[in-house]
Amino acid sequence: MSSAAIMKFLKKISAACLLSIGFLFAMYGVAQMPELANEEQTHESKLEIRESFFMSMGISVPMLAGGGLMLWRLHQRNKKQLRDRLDRIFYRILKINQGKITILEFAMEGNLSGEEARKYLDTKAKEFNAHFETDDKGHINYRFEVPVSFFYIPSQIDYS
């Protein structure tokens, strides 16, 4: 396991611990609330219950916020890594195929479902004003205008 994977795992564990402990403190505080409505409670015991409630909320809210923020950041980082990986695959295929790409080709290279590949390519087609071509089998080809200088030429391969 790489150190990045270990760190990601530790962050998930930390976030889960913060959320769990924060939730327990919040439940403890909320469970105290019905006691305030009890008419048999003395003024001093009601003050203790209020104090206990606010202390548990004071502990739980930062823990819940911290755990939630950690999970949100991990989610955002994962989305960015996926987007970056798909962008690399997308540009590599365009370079090799001289600006042409199909849904099946992108789905296979990116290990995506057909629907995910179509959505991604539709987004890129709008972003870069791609043209659509349909071959004789009915497959949709996305045609992107790529400068000739970026095309992949087999003689450019370095075999050393």
Q: List, for residues 8-51, the tens digit of each pLDDT value.
A: 999 999 999 999 999 999 999 999 888 877 888 888 888 898 89
Range of the domain at 67: 1-81
DSSP 3-state of 113? coil
Does any domain span residue 136?
yes
Residue 45: the pLDDT is 87
Residue 159: the pLDDT is 44
The encoded tokens of residue 24 equal 């327990």
User: Can you tell me which residue has the tokens 């870069």?
Assistant: 128
What is the DSSP code (8-state) at residue 98? T
Residues 8 and 77 in one domain: yes
DSSP 3-state of 132? strand
What is the DSSP code (8-state) at residue 150? G
- 102's enclosing H/E stretch is strand 100-102
Residue 152: the pLDDT is 58
Do residues 25 and 60 make contact, with C-beta atoms less than 8 angstroms apart? Answer: yes
Handedness of CA 109, 114, 116, 119 (dihedral sign): positive
Residue 142: the pLDDT is 94
Does any domain span residue 89?
no
Residues 40 and 9 in one domain: yes
Does any domain span residue 133?
yes
Residue 98: the pLDDT is 87
Q: Is the pTM of this model over 0.95?
A: no
Residue 122: the pLDDT is 94
CA 16 from chain center: how many Å? 17
Does any domain span residue 120?
yes
Strand pairing partners for 131?
143
Residue 60: the pLDDT is 96
Listed as ranges, residues in the chain with pLDDT below 50 are 159-160
What whole-number percentage of the chain has pLDDT above 90? 62
